[in-house]
Structure 1
Amino acid sequence: MRALKLHGRSIALIAIIVPLLAVFAYVAMRSGPLAPVKVTVVRVQEGTVSPTLFGIGTVEARHTYRIGPTLAGRVSRVEAQVGDRVSAGQVLGEMDAVDLSDRIRAQDAALKRARAGVREAEARQAFAQAQSRRYDKLSALQAASEEVAITRRQEREIAEAGLIAAREELARVQSERAALVAQLENLRLVAPVDGVVTLREAEPGTTVVAGQAVVELIDPSSLWINLRLDQVGAGELARDLEAAIVLRSRSEAPLPGRVLRVEPRADAVTEELLAKVVFDSRPEPMPPLGELAEVTVALPPAPAAVVVPNAALRREAGEVGVWQVKEGRLHFAPLKLGAADLDGRVQVRAGLTAGEEIVLYSERALSSGSRIDVVSTLPGAHR
């Protein structure tokens, strides 16, 4: 009787445990770690991509004018303020002339003496020429000796040499005075073009050396973006390609532009190409120099080919590819990729053909042995 009771209990326990194990196994296979991975799939199609390049740059001025004296001196006045718009020829400041005006007046007096000396030399030369011709005629008529005629000719040559010397002295004095006047003009700091004052580097009373800038001026029509682009995929970057410029302070309004030139030197450290991008029209108000800008350059459209979404790309064992779905099983297909666009589409050069099915999204990482459950959308995905 006791054995029958134990046997009955065992059967009862087995009857309870087996269904529980079955339920556990079912739950584990459907919603636990052994459950199939939910994925969404997409069918590969042919299409074209419009490749683009994206880079970060800074606003700079193509033409910058650093205005200062050509000789060392003291700043007398500075009339330009940072941010002022100035016109070509406008006086921005002036250097202290010290004794330059007195030296010009002294040269004026020397110039008068030199001109008087020239007039005197011209009179002597004219008198000597007349005397020489007169005595040459008298000598020919034997009314004067040959020695006297020779003396008069020597006097004429001396007078001509004196006239040449007087004229050279006049030219020297004129040149010295012109140099002093030019120095005086150079003391006036004049704007060479219409522009905007960006720096005021010296105040009145400051002593500056030759070549040191007192005021810095830029031409606002020469603004451009000094752009840096990753060398990968930038092989087709060329002049005159269209670009969209988004200034950091005006992110809501992209500005049209174009590539002015591609620099012949690249940055070997950052592995970037350098390019200059100009605005199609001058932005108003003028953006500050050094402001960051995001630039998107549109490259020529790529030829039609197999195209996959960028979201489908995975990296497995150092290779980039996609998970193919064949008869409900996964197979990793390494790809050779081409151009990509900002819409998230990537050109496939080798590894896939049109019509094949690939995994677009998965709820967790996949492997070749993963079981999958194809769904239209993943739980929690944005609608």
Structure 2
Amino acid sequence: MARATPTPEARRRSERQNRQRRESNELMALLQQPKGNVATRRRRRISRPQIAGLAVAALVLVAAAVFAFGLGSQARAGGQAGDSQMAQAVPVRAVAARRGHLSVRTAYSGELVGEVSDISPQVSGLLVEVPARIGQRVAAGTVLAVIADVEVRNQLQEARGQLGVAEANRDRAAAELVGVEADYQRAMELYDQGLLSEQEQQQVTSQYATTKANLAAGEAQVRQSAAREALLAEQFANTRVRAPFDAVVSDRYLDRGALVQPGTPILRLVEEAPLLVQFRVPERDLSAVQTGADFDVATEATGDRTFSGTVRRVAGEVRRNDRTVLVEGELAETDELLLPGMYADVSVSLRDLDNALIVPGTALLERVAMDGARSTGVMVPVDGLAQWRAVTVAGRSGEYSAIAGPIEAGELVLTMGHNQLGHGAPVRVVRNEPQPSDAQPSPTGAAGF
């Protein structure tokens, strides 16, 4: 195989390296000559290329010395920075874990509901009056609207007159029947004695039957007239639209002058009590949220006030798109600020934990490992360093959580300033949260904080 021909640049580089090597060797040879041989040294002259090579070599040695000095300085600076970092510990707050009772509660988003009815008339006509106003509280039977009643009033009066005529005809037929029935009884006695001919007996019998039929017809006419009168009386009563229950007027759709017919909504009523709340519960919590379970309700309108209630109904089907079940509860008490349609935060007690190891929820952290696995834990200050302790959350209630793991009661856990700390980070506890003297449950159900 033919050897590759070196390029001009490669040849020049090789020649320069060889020249520098020769000049360096000559310099070393001069330095190694004996001091007494001064004449020889003086007679030996150094060429200009040799001087240039010596200068380059000296520069290389100086640069190497400066680089080594810089590395040493950086190493010393790094050591000093590390010492400074160790001296500047992160200030944190801590609280002691405690044993106590925790009522595990969970919160759901719900909505206050009441019995809502769109009130519409049962008769057609002109709306002549709507005395009810939005926000007005009305009792059952209160007149909410009035429909023109002139026509139906006239019809009612006519029907009542016809009923009177029918009753008079019935009474006349009844009185006539009394006399005819007496004649019929005497005629039958005479006929039995042979004192009355058969023809005369048949005439009396026919008259008696006719009179009875007239009475029956009169009674039927009375019933018919009475039914018509009752129908018109009901229609007349329906010209007054009344509240079916105690409620609040929440909306008003029409004003006077509007033409209405059956089914046309005029007002909307909302029953005030009992006030209900509806919320959806995941199927995993369904075993704890059953009929009779207690809950608390809070709304933005009522601030810190809560209202207790009881679960009354649980739907018999899981909604497939989100795997939740509709739950309806009834509030034991109400307030003027609570209105149907409001959003509500529903807190339901799932279970009670006794002798649980309780820490504030702010102490819990979540970390993600390199493989994507998530873990929950707390930071514990040990000899000025933060140590990561993985724990399992047994339950939560408001601001507190019950945990299980390598934590002992009374051991401090970090609650503030620890979110970005890593295992082994220097910390300085600037404040320990005070421990209570008793273990009475707090409003959220946690004891010891």
Tell me if TM exceeds 0.5.
Answer: yes
2:36 corresponding residue in structure 1: none
Residue 254 of structure 1 aligns with which residue? 305
Cα distance in 2, alignment partners of residues 16 and 157 from structure 1: 142
Which amino acid letter does the alignment assign opposite residue 340 of structure 1? R
Partner of 1:69: 121
1:106 is aligned to 2:161:
no
Which AA in structure 2 matches 1:342?
A: G
Provide the residue aligned with 1:89 in structure 2: 141
The alignment partner of 2:249 has SS state of strand
Which residue number corresponds to residue 56 of structure 1?
Answer: 109
Q: In structure 2, what is the Cα distance between the partners aligned to 1:221 and 1:249?
A: 18
- Normalising by structure 1, what TM-score? 0.78
Partner of 1:142: 194
Deviation at 1:226, TM superposition (A): 2.8
- Is residue 373 of structure 2 the alignment partner of residue 322 of structure 1? no
Root mean square deviation, CA, Å = 4.2
Asked if 1 retains the 8 angstrom alpha-carbon contact of 2:294 and 2:311, the reply is no
CA distance in 2, matches of 1:18, 1:321: 43
Q: Find the aligned partners of 2:213 and 2:161 in 1 and give their Cα distance.
A: 24
Equivalence for 1:155: 207
**Counterpart amino acid of residue 269 in structure 1:** N
AA partner of residue 24 (structure 1): G
Residues 205 and 66 of structure 1: CA distance in aligned 2, closer, same or farther (over 3 Å): same
How much does 1:64 deviate?
2.6
Give me the whole-angstrom Cα distance separating, in 1, the residues matched to 2:148 and 2:285. Answer: 57
CA offsets 1:85-111 (integer angstroms, 9 cap, x no match): 223322222111252112112212211
- 2:407, 2:182 → 1: CA distance? 109
- Asked if the contact 1:196–1:219 (Cα under 8 Å) also holds between the matched residues in 2, the reply is yes
Structure possessing the higher relative contact order (Cα contacts under 8 Å, 6 or more residues apart): 1
Q: Which deviations, in whole Å up to 9, do the C-alpha atoms of 1:329-381 show, x marking residues without a partner?
A: 9787574x432211331344xxx356498975745365xxxx514534389x9
Structure 1 runs not aligned, ≥5 long: none
Structure 2 residue 390 is matched with structure 1 residue 338: no
**Closer/same/farther in 2, CA of residues 165 and 37 from structure 1, 3 Å limit:** same
State the partner residue of 2:47: none
Residue in structure 1 matched with residue 352 of structure 2 by the alignment: 301
Question: Match for 1:170 among 222, 229, 232?
Answer: 222
Q: Could you tell which deviates more after superposition, 20-29 or 134-143? A: 20-29
Quick one: distance in 2 between partners of 1:242 and 1:92?
Answer: 38
% identical aligned pairs: 19
- Report what 2:130 is aligned to: 78
Residues 268, 223 of structure 1: alpha-carbon distance in 2 compared, 3 angstrom cutoff: same
Q: What is the Cα deviation at residue 48 of structure 1?
A: 3.8
Find out whether 1:227 has 2:227 as its counterpart: no
Distance 1:365 1:142, change over 3 A: same
- The correspondence of residues 22-37 of structure 1 with structure 2, limited to 5 A, is 22-25=76-79, 27-28=81-82, 31=85
Offset at residue 204 of structure 1 (A): 1.0
- Residue 21 to residue 363, structure 1, CA distance change in 2 (3 Å): farther
* Residue 19 (structure 1) shift: 5.1
The structure carrying a bigger helix percent of its residues is: 2
> Residues 138 and 13 of structure 1: is their aligned pair in 2 closer, same or farther, counting only changes over 3 Å?
closer
AA at the equivalent of 1:296: S
- Mapped partners of 1:347, 1:16: distance in 2: 53
1:184 is matched with 236
The separation in 2 between residues aligned to 1:78 and 1:6, in whole angstroms, is 106
CA contact (8 A) 2:310 2:332 kept: no
Q: Secondary structure at 1:294's aligned position in 2?
A: strand
Residues 209-288 of structure 1 aligned to structure 2 (within 5 Å): 209-231=261-283, 233=285, 235-251=287-303, 253-264=304-315, 265-284=317-336, 286-288=337-339
Deviation at 1:238, TM superposition (A): 3.3
Gaps of 5+ in 2: 1-30, 32-53, 435-449
Cα separation, partners in 2 of 1:116 and 1:354, compared to 1, 3 Å: same
Matching residue's letter, 2:184: S
SS of 2:341's partner is coil
Paired residue secondary structure (1:372): coil
Q: 1:18 aligns with which of 52, 72, 91?
A: 72
CA-CA distance at 1:294 after TM superposition: 2.5
Equivalent residues in 2 for 1:188-203 (5 A)? 188-203=240-255
SS in structure 2 at match of 1:49: strand
**Amino acid in structure 1 at the alignment position of 2:342:** E
Q: Is the 8 A contact 1:58 1:227 kept in 2?
A: yes
- Secondary structure of the residue aligned to 2:301 is helix
8 Å Cα contact 2:310/2:331 also seen in 1: no
Alpha-carbon distance, 1:58 to partner: 2.7
